[in-house]
Amino acid sequence: MKRLRISEKMRELMTGYYMAGMQAECNAWITSGAPVELLHALDVYPVYPENHGALIGATKLGGYYCEFAEKNGFSRDLCSYARCDIGCVFAGTSPIGGLPKPTFLFACNNICNTVVKWYEVLSRIFKVPLFVLDMPFIRKELKDCHLRYVEEQLYDFISFAERVTDRKLDDAKLRDVVLKSMESVELYSECLRTAANKPSPMTCFDAFVNMAPIVCLRGTDHAISFYKEMKQELDERVKEGVSAIEREEIRLLWDNIPVWYRLKWFGEFFEKRNACLVADTYTNAWSGFKVSRGEDVLSGMAEVYTVSYLNIGMEMTAEIINKLIDLYDVDGVVMHSNRSCKPYSFGQYEIQKKLSVPSVIIEADMVDERVFSEAQVVTRLEAFLEML
C-alpha cells in the first residue's frame, strides 16, 4: 500500500493539537457530533475523548486501559470508547500521557445515548458541570418542534458556557469559525470523493488515519490547510493514474467505526486479494456537517447537527449507503458489527437486505482487541470475496 505523504503531516498536526490541550487555560471534553464551533467562538479548547480512544485502540492498548475501568466495576459489555476513557482516568495516564482535566463537559446525543451516561460518570469523577445537548431521533422526517427544541438548547448552552468560563461569546468570531468549519468540511469531502476514480488514489484506511483533523480541528485554519494539501496530493495521484493498492480488481465500501487496532492488517488483507476499500460510511458522516444554511447561524447549526448520520432512521441510512455504492461504484459492502456501537450496528441485518450489492458482516470491537477473532474474520471475508 502506498502511504499518503499527508499522513506524516497528520501526525505532526495532532501531536501539536494534543500538546496545545495541555497548555489550554480552559477546555471542554466534547462528543464527536457536538457543534464544536461554539467552543471555538468562546476560545475554549475542545478535547475529544473518542479520538483519544481511537488513538489508544491504534496503539493496541485498548484492552489494557479498559481493564482499569472494569476493575472499578464497569461492565465489559459497555462501549469500549467509554471504558477506555474512564480507564485512563483511573490509570492516571494514557499512551499520550492522559487528557487534561476538563473545565466542563459537553455531550450531544446525536451519535448515541451512551455518551450521556459516559459523561455523567466523568462529571461525577471530575466534579465539573456537564451540559447535555439533547437531540430527538429523526426516524422519518425532521419536525419543526425538533428544530426549535434543539435551537433553544443551543442558546441555553451559550449561557451555560459563558457562566462557567466567565467569557462572552463573540458573535463575529462565531460566524468566522462557522465559515472555516464549512470550508474544511467541503475540502474534506472533496478528498473523500477522489476515491470515486478508477483506480482509487486512496483507501478508506487512508481516510481513517487522516480523519482526526476534521473531527478535532474543524473550525480552525489547521483543518483547512491540511485538507487542501491532502487534496493536492490525491489530485496528483489521480492525474498520474496512481492506485492506492497494487491491483484494484474489486471495489468495496466499509460500514461502521473501523477496527482501530487492525487498520494495517485489514489494509494488507484486502490489498493481497486485489480489493480496495474505496470508501466508508464513518468518515463520510463528517462530510454532512455543513453548518450553515443561511443567515441564522444557530438555526442552521441546529438542523445540520440534528440530521447527522447516526441520528436518522434506517430507511434514510440505507438510502445513503446505496448512494455511496453508486457514487463509488463498489461491488460489495463489508459491515463491521461493532459490539461497542449499538446505534451503528443494530439494523445492519435489515440494511443488508436493502442494499443493491452483496455484503458481509464481521463481528469485532473498535477498540477492545480482546474481542477480535482473526480466524473468524478471515474466513468470512475470504468467503465473501470468493462470492463476488
Partner 1 sequence: MKVGYLCTFTPKELIHSAGFLPYRVFATDRPINLASAYIQSYSCSQARGSLECALQDDFHAFVFTRCCDTLMRLTDIFEFAGKRVCNIEFPTKIGNVEYYVQELRDFIEVLREWGGEVNFERLMESLKLYRKLEEKLKQLFALSPDYETAIKVQQIEVRDAIKLVDEKIRTAKKEKEKPKVLITGSVCPYPKVYEIFREAGFSVKDDLCTGSRFFEYSYPDFEPVDLDSALKFIAEKYMNKSPCPTKHYEKDKRFEYVLKLAEDCDAVVFLLVKFCDPHFFDYPQLRERLEGMGKKVALIELEFPVVSFEQIRTRVEALREVI
Partner 2 sequence: MITVGIDIGSITAKCVVLEDTRILGYKISRVKPNLEVTAKEILAETLSFVGLKREDVGRIVATGYGRNMVDFADKKITEISCHAAGACFLISNAGTVIDIGGQDSKVIAVENGKVLDFVMNDKCAAGTGRFIEVMAAALNLRIEDVGSLAVKATKKLKISSTCTVFAETEVVSYISSGEKVENIIAGVCDAIAGRIIAMANRVGIRREVVLTGGVAKNLGVKRAIEERLGFPVIVPEEPQIAGALGAAVLGQKA
Give the whole-angstrom CA distance, residue 184 versus residue 216. Answer: 12
**Binding of partner 2 by 363 (CB under 8 A):** yes
For position 358 contacting partner 2 by CB under 8 A, the verdict is yes
Site string for partner 1, 14-53 (x = CB under 8 A): ----------------------------------------
The reply on whether position 155 binds partner 1 by CB under 8 A is no
Q: How far is CA 220 from the centre of its chain?
A: 17
With CB under 8 A as the contact rule, which of the stretches 237-245, 250-258, 325-333, 375-383 interacts with partner 2? 375-383
Distance CA 350, CA 188 (A): 30
x/- mask, partner 2, residues 185-224, rule CB under 8 A, reads ----------------------------------------
Residue 346 contacts partner 1 per CB under 8 A: yes
What residues between 290 and 349 interact with partner 2 by CB under 8 A?
349
- Residue whose cell numbers read 422519518: 140
Long-range contacts of 115-122 (CB under 8 A, 24+ apart): 115/31, 115/82, 117/82, 118/79, 118/81, 118/82, 118/85, 118/86, 119/29, 119/31, 121/82, 121/86, 122/29, 122/85, 122/86, 122/89
> Would you state the cell numbers that stand for residue 358, as one nine-digit string?
452483496
Give residue for cell 474534506. 188
Shortest CB 376 distance to partner 2, Å = 5
Residue closer to partner 2 by CB (options 197, 340) is 340
Nearest to 4, CA basis, from 190, 175, 209, 299 = 209
Report helix, strand or coil for 27.
strand
319 is a contact residue toward partner 1 (CB under 8 A): no
- Verify binding: residue 152, partner 1, rule CB under 8 A: yes
Contact 39, 30 (CB under 8 A): yes
Residue 64 touches which of partner 2, partner 1, none (CB < 5 to 8 A by kind)?
none
- Residue count, binding to partner 2 (CB under 8 A): 13
Q: Answer yes or no: are the C-beta atoms of 40 and 49 closer than 8 Å.
A: no
Residue 380 makes contact with partner 1 by CB under 8 A: no
Between CA 331 and CA 356 the distance in angstroms is: 9
- Alpha helices by DSSP H, 98-168: 114-126, 144-165
Per CB under 8 A, does 382 bind partner 2? yes
Q: Closer CB to partner 2, residue 239 or residue 353? A: 353
Whether cis (ω within 30° of 0) applies to the bond prior to 46 is no
How do 250-255 and 104-108 pair as beta strands? unpaired
**Is 375 a residue that touches partner 2 (CB under 8 A)?**
yes
342 lies in the site for partner 1, by CB under 8 A = yes
**Shortest Cβ distance from residue 145 to partner 1 (Å)?**
4
H or E, element range at 132: strand 130-133
Q: Is 376 in the site for partner 2 (CB under 8 A)?
A: yes
Task: Give the binding site for partner 2 (CB under 8 A).
Answer: 349, 358, 361, 363, 373, 375-376, 379-380, 382-383, 386-387
Residues that bind partner 1 (CB under 8 A): 72-75, 77-79, 82, 109, 112-114, 116-118, 120-121, 124, 132, 134, 136-137, 139, 143, 145-146, 148-149, 152-153, 313-315, 337, 339, 342-343, 345-350, 363
